[in-house]
Amino acid sequence: MKAVISGKKKAIGIYMAEEAKKMGYDVMYHEDEKVPLSYEELGCDVLVQLNMFSCNKPEDFRNLKFVQALMVGTDNQPIEKLKSMNVLYASMKGVFDKPIAEFVIMRILDIYKHMRTYEKQQKEHSWSKRFDLLELSGKKAAILGTGHIGTETAKRLRAFETICDGFSRSLKNAEFFDNAYTIDTLKEKIGNYDIVIAAIPLTEDTYHLFNDDMFNAMRDNSVFINIARGGIQSEEALYNALKSGKLMAAAVDVFEKEPLDVNSPLWDLENFFYSPHNSFNGDKNDETIAKVVLGNLKAFIEGGKINDLV
């Protein structure tokens, strides 16, 4: 059985390729996903990839049976086409939840404790106290998405005695949340929250969910955080909410077009906290990714249960 293994990091890719060979796979390691697959590689049965379909069409594969993704999101993946070809697709669901949740907490504390002030003071060799630092205790947070990332985030916020309400399409998986609501009630309730965290998939229903109307409905001086997908927010509306002072701050890790345009007016806002789609990163990523990938490759070749099928 032929497998093509790719990914951003060469070392972990080669490791997974060597381990897959021990399982009985005929493995081809493809280092650069920006380079289209060769005719031989397009004959693979299994594909381990991050975004290989950006330069390879699903129909170009002759024998493809199983795709193991190296990411969670599926909005830029040809899921429906693969389904029509009877190709199984598994995601990295659950792998990046803890580092992302930690990143969210870091950003909230960064904003609430005015760390930019002290960083500036250090550069200027200046000493001046602030008496307007905020506490998380007693604050109310709305977490959009009660899946793995939302749950890990709520779990950590609860340790700070923050009240956490979850919003989702269903009311399932609401552990660590004080209350659970359906996403269609968000606009009527969003004014109740000090912190709003987007951790939901990008769909037709969530595209530009955060537009001028939604930001205007938020509580004055609240905080917006997006670690989901850039299309969930209108960047123009986000700029308006920050520039006007409606929002205290926004921490955004994802953008509709990445990288963020160098001419975007968001860059120069003092209350805008940027990161380059990097919240998922952690020192345990490689170990966890390899465990998931190799576990599913073993299950596939042995006819066992594949985890996290989409």
Task: Give me the tens of pLDDT residue by residue for the chain, a chain 310 residues long.
Answer: 999 999 878 899 999 999 999 999 999 999 999 999 999 999 999 999 999 999 999 999 999 999 999 999 888 899 999 999 999 999 998 899 999 999 999 999 999 999 999 999 999 999 999 999 999 999 999 999 999 999 999 999 999 999 999 999 987 668 899 999 999 999 999 999 999 999 999 999 999 999 999 999 999 999 999 999 999 999 999 999 999 999 999 999 999 999 999 999 999 999 999 999 999 999 999 999 999 999 999 999 999 999 999 9
* 118-121-124 Cα angle (round to 5): 155
Give the separation between CA 101 and CA 151, rounded to whole angstroms. 9
Domain 2-93+283-302 and domain 97-274 have a common topology: yes
At the topology level, CATH places domain 2-93+283-302 in Rossmann fold (3.40.50)
Give the separation between CA 273 and CA 212, rounded to whole angstroms. 19
φ, ψ at 287 (rounded to 5°)? -60, -45
Joined together, the tokens standing for residue 272 give: 């805008």
Give the separation between CA 295 and CA 69, rounded to whole angstroms. 13
Q: Do residues 91 and 79 lie in contact, with contact meaning Cβ atoms separated by under 8 Å?
A: no
Give the separation between CA 228 and CA 95, rounded to whole angstroms. 15
pTM comes to: 0.91
The full set of domain ranges for the chain reads: 2-93+283-302, 97-274
Q: Do residues 277 and 1 lie in contact, with contact meaning Cβ atoms separated by under 8 Å?
A: no
Instruction: Please report the pLDDT score of residue 171 as a whole number.
Output: 74
Domain 97-274 belongs in CATH node 3.40.50.720: yes
